[in-house]
Amino acid sequence: MQEITKDKYIEALNKVAGSEEGRIVLAALKVSCQWDTTYVASDDPVATHFHSARRGVYGSLRKDVRPEDLKAIEFDYSWAAPTKGERTKKVSKKR
């Protein structure tokens, strides 16, 4: 079994973040974790905690990415709009 050290992890993460494919994956993870969204539900603290934890996944990765790669990931990539006929996730709001 190979041991993973913090230094090995950071080196591997930055190799991924420095490649085109890695930037696409990390940009998609940013969207999946809803990094750009703050969610607070006064009527449902469990939902608030869930969304905060999900954002924490991306947040824990991004702190170890080189600034120049992080800038590219967060500002040079965006999720494409769905094409005609492509299913999208429906968001419902509680009232």
User: Number of folded domains in the chain?
Assistant: 1
Is 66 within the bounds of a domain? Answer: yes
**Cα(63)–Cα(66) distance, rounded to whole angstroms?**
8
Q: Which domain holds residue 34?
A: 6-74
Question: pLDDT per residue over 36-80, tens digit each?
Answer: 888 888 788 898 899 999 999 999 999 999 999 999 999 998 888
Per-residue model confidence (pLDDT) at position 88: 57
pTM for this one?
0.78
Q: Are 16 and 22 in contact (CB under 8 A)?
A: yes
Torsion angle of alpha carbons 10, 12, 14, 16, nearest 10°? -150
State mean pLDDT over 24-42.
90
Strand positions, DSSP E, the chain? none
Is 42 within the bounds of a domain? Answer: yes
**Cα(41)–Cα(47) distance, rounded to whole angstroms?**
7
pLDDT confidence tier of residue 95, bands split at 50, 70 and 90: very low
Percent of the chain whose predicted confidence (pLDDT) is above 70: 88
